[in-house]
Amino acid sequence: MDTDGCLYIHRHKQNGKTYQNIGLCFTSYSKKLTKSVAGIMNKLGIKPHIMKDSTRIYLYSQKAVVEYLSIFGSSNARIRNKYLDWRGVRVADGARLESV
């Protein structure tokens, strides 16, 4: 994930109100790898969305992204900073992201 994935903030408007949702995307052209990663996520209770061509996995919900980061963490500063930008200094359980 740290090299083949990204964390992003999806900004959109609905009924005149602006929303910011956090998302995660993992890309691999190995369909076997993406299916394996999605299977592991499912077993851990994280709901992945696999694109039709099986090269990308998305996590669309805040719950899924937070759960992923709490289980696997990230050593990529870009991913950690993007999460902090979206969430603020503290994650849902009050722990600092650096400990995730």
- Please calculate the CA angle 11-37-77 and round it to the nearest 5 degrees: 50
Per the CB < 8 A criterion, the answer to whether 41 and 48 are in contact is: yes
Classify domain 5-87 by CATH architecture. Answer: Roll (3.10)
Q: List pLDDT tens digits, range 6-44.
A: 898 877 788 998 877 889 999 999 999 999 999 999 999
C-alpha–C-alpha distance, residues 62 and 23, integer Å: 7
Task: Give the tens place of pLDDT for each residue, 51-74.
Answer: 989 999 999 888 999 999 999 988
Question: Which pLDDT score is estimated for 19?
Answer: 79
